[in-house]
Amino acid sequence: MNISRLFDRRSLVKAGAFLGAVSTAFARAARVEAEEQSGSVASEATSAETTMAEIPLSATAKVTVERRGQVVLIGINRPYIHNRIDPETYSGLATAYYQFDHDPSLRAAVLFGHGDNFSRGIDVDAFAALVTSGRSRIEERGMIDPLAKAPPVLSKPLVVVVHGDTWNMGHELHLAADIRIAAADTVFGQDENTHGRFPGGGSTIRFVREAGWGNAMRYMLTGDHWGTEEAFRMGVVQELAPTREKAFEAGVAIATKIAACGPLGIRTTLASAHLAVDPSEAEALSKLNAQYGALYKTEDFKEGRRAEAEGRQPAYHGK
């Protein structure tokens, strides 16, 4: 069919000119809006700049902070309870992440654990009231979720160094980092399903993405633990070290090397990668807290806690 038979040529020209004008107007409006938003964000970022203060190692400090030039070392410090994460420790990490991200003199961070273990994960009893209440685990301002379940996320690189027991939330903090180093004595675990819970800190998304569906489900669904060679095989660890000390040195060396690169390029690299990954994971991450909290209210969860306290195998009934 000849299109000229249906439309007058001059009408088409006029319509094309009109549509072109509208398109140009919309493009300009979008550009102006983007420029205004960019200026607003830049202004906000400038006003939010801070200087990250050190928090020395002590019996009362649940999170430590040590500055080494352009690198900051963030340590989990509850060795008397295997570095299990309670709400105060979680908030301490969230605050440390925010301050690191907003301190222009810092370019890379290293997360590690004091004592014999990186972390055995969540302090279940300490978190119970907060989890069942449905309240947010962090404040809206001055914090960045260390499990990166909701924006904002870190815009600077985070290297994690693990050793000893690295279980559950500890493993999920590890998965949320950009680069992961493990000492040879590391034992990984994602065994919440054996306790009537589930991996509510991001493993159902990030472990699957990093290791592949079958590898991740092999350990999440059985609760079996695994070692460093298996972690390296699955791709969830980038470098192995023979001792804890060597692992820590390797983590600091990588962070130092990153800090020597152009900071704008580093941030843009992370931002570009997040644009590719984050949109597809946002919905699943946003539902984790509610899903985890719902399981806390079940009979299976209570049975899991009783069985653990009594040193016996749980008997679950799906209620």
Report the pLDDT value the prediction gives residue 10, as an integer from 0 to 100.
Answer: 39
What is the sign, positive or negative, of the torsion defined by CA atoms of 237, 238, 243, 249?
negative
Residue 300 CB coordination number (10 Å): 18
At residue 114, the 3 state secondary structure works out as: coil
Most distant CA pair in the chain, distance? 87
pLDDT in tens, 269-283: 999 999 999 999 999
pLDDT cut 90: percent of the chain above it: 80
Per residue in 292-305, pLDDT tens? 999 989 999 999 99
Q: What is the mean pLDDT of residues 123-140?
A: 83
Structure tokens at 4: 């000229």
Classify 166 in phi/psi space as left (phi over 0), alpha (psi -120 to 50) or beta. beta
Instruction: Check residue 59 and report its DSSP letter.
Output: S
The whole-number pLDDT of residue 304 equals 94
**Neighbouring C-beta atoms of residue 50, cutoff 10 Å:** 13
* Predicted pLDDT of residue 27: 39
Which residues neighbour 86 within 8 Å (Cβ) at sequence distance 6 or greater? Answer: 62, 78, 123, 126, 127
Structure tokens at 138: 């962090």
Tracing tokens 């549509």 back to the chain, one arrives at 19
pLDDT at 77: 98
- Measured CA to CA, the distance from residue 109 to residue 302 in angstroms comes to 38
* pLDDT score recorded for residue 141: 87
Instruction: Report pLDDT for 135.
Output: 76
Question: pTM to 2 decimals?
Answer: 0.84
Q: What is the CATH number of domain 63-244+255-296?
A: 3.90.226.10
What's the confidence (pLDDT) of residue 134? 75
Looking at residue 144, its pLDDT comes to: 96
| pLDDT score of 155 | 98
Domain ranges of the chain: 63-244+255-296
CA dihedral 158, 271, 264, 50 (to 10 degrees): -60
pLDDT of residue 70: 98
Dihedrals phi, psi of 18, to nearest 5 degrees: -60, -50
In Å, what is the CA distance from 295 to each residue of 44, 150, 168? Answer: 39, 21, 16
pLDDT class for 45, splitting at 50, 70, 90? very low
Question: Do the beta carbons of residue 191 and residue 167 sit within 8 Å?
Answer: yes
Which range among 30-44, 140-154, 185-199, 305-319 shows the weakest confidence by mean pLDDT? 30-44
Per-residue tokens: 259: 């800090």
Give the pLDDT band of residue 66 (cuts 50, 70, 90).
very high
Question: Dihedral sign, CA of 223, 227, 233, 236?
Answer: positive
What pLDDT shows up at residue 121?
97
Token pair of 45, please?
């970022």
* pLDDT of the residue at 106: 98
Q: How confident is the model at residue 18 (pLDDT cuts 50, 70, 90)?
A: very low
- What confidence score (pLDDT) does residue 205 get? 98
Element (H, E) at 61: none
Taking all residues of the chain, what is their mean pLDDT, rounded to a whole number? 88
